[in-house]
Amino acid sequence: MNGMRLRGLIRKEFLQIVRDPSAIAIAVALPIFLLLLFGYGVSLNARRVPLALVAPYSPQAQELLGGFDRSPYFVPHRYATMAAAKSALGRRRVDGIVWLRSDFGRRMLAQGNAGIGVFVNGVDANNAGLLEAYIRGVWLGWLSRQAQDQGSTLSVPVTVEQRIWFNAALRSRNYLVPGLIAIIMTLIGALLTAQVVSREWERGTMEALMATPVSMGDILLSKLIPYFVLGMAGMALSVVMAVWLFAVPLRGSLLVLFSASGLFMLVALGMGLLISTVAKNQFISATIAIVATFLPAFILSGFIFDLNSMPVPIRLLTHIVAARYFVAILQTVFGAGDVWPVVLANAAALCAMAAFFLGLTWRLSRKRLD
């Protein structure tokens, strides 16, 4: 290693980043776009759900249906017949139907046991589950008002008192935006780095570099350092946007957040450099980077989908996905705080992976063309 050579290479790398539109696109434009998309666009919280109400007039029915009108979760549409409502459901105009039979009022008064038909469009199972819970909430509210009107209180044997820690309002943004940091750093560390190294092979600049007295260690370090800085800058940008723009609470310390991110960045860079050592062609290295790093970071990291719910073989597979450890740290540091057992265990895994990938790259890199 030699200070002057390394400095020269690093300066070159920075100049290239600044002047290469595709580097800017991956390192700046794409992260901002993704953050905006996830911060504003994507939400797993159901909005006001279009709901069909089919009910002949009766005072009891009006009382219940009024509950749907007042609820912030629904946009009710009245339909005269069940057939019309069903057709609306089939055409995706409404997501669910609440159906009261014509004898609803009578049965309720007479037998105290009337059925409320609820039909939900189960295609989007996640959405359907949420819809069902919202309808249940309206129903319970209606029951307790009914009981109040009769001068008693609704008496159910056991009621659940839910306390949701860390994210009482269940804003999906609070975990999607921090998780996105892992995606963005994967993009910069693995995809972009793999691309720039393959490009040097393709354009013949690597041959010219190798003909100089520069060592392979210098070349590797000169890729590591600038893209490390770039990745950390992307991460800092994401944190700033998360906290100030999307009001995501950050309960842990910045120190832990940045240290863990630095560790993950090393893993991502290790993967990127390894890919470009194996594939000296930009197209192939991009394909490998997307399939081996980007997609797993999206799907197998716990960023969106719950890891515990996956089948055992897939769950085992997630243990070799570096992003899973980082997402765990991110969601904890943002949502809960510096919970040391979580942070340390996952950081240890990241350390091991960084050592593995960087070590393997080092072993495989030779200052030769064949």
Instruction: Find the binding residues for other proteins in span 257-296 (CB under 8 A).
Output: 281-284, 286-287, 290-291, 295-296
Whole-angstrom Cα distance, residue 210 to residue 9? Answer: 12
Q: How far is the CB of 204 from other proteins (least distance, A)?
A: 4
- Please state the closest distance from residue 128 (CB atom) to other proteins, in A: 5
Touching other proteins, residues 108-167 (CB under 8 A): 108, 112-130, 132-133, 135-136, 139, 143, 146, 154-167
- How far out from the chain centre does Cα 63 lie? 40
Measure the CA–CA gap between 215 and 223, rounded to whole angstroms: 13
Q: How far apart are CA 370 and CA 351, in angstroms?
A: 31
Nearest approach, Cβ of 79 to other proteins (angstroms)? 15
172 contributes a contact to other proteins by CB under 8 A: yes
Q: Which of 328, 347, 354, 358 binds other proteins (CB under 8 A)?
A: 328
Phi, psi of 76 (to 5 degrees): -80, 140
- Contacts of 266 by beta carbon, 8 Å cutoff, 6+ apart: 224, 228, 350, 354, 358
Rounded Cα gap, residues 112 and 347, in angstroms: 59
Q: Which is nearer to other proteins, 286 or 350 (CB)?
A: 286
* Nearest residue to 297 via CA among 332, 333, 272, 276: 272
Q: Does residue 369 interact with other proteins by CB under 8 A? A: yes
Residues 35-94 contacting other proteins, CB under 8 A: 37-38, 40-47, 60, 64, 89-92
Stretch that binds other proteins, among 233-241, 261-269, 336-344, 349-357 (CB under 8 A): 336-344
Q: Does 341 contact other proteins by CB under 8 A?
A: yes
DSSP label of 184: H
Chain centroid to Cα 43, Å, comes to: 10
User: Any contact of residue 194 with other proteins (CB under 8 A)?
Assistant: no
Q: For residue 93, give both structure tokens.
A: 């105009």
Nearer to other proteins, 231 or 266 (CB): 231
Q: Site size for other proteins, by CB under 8 A?
A: 135
Q: Which is nearer to other proteins, 255 or 312 (CB)?
A: 312
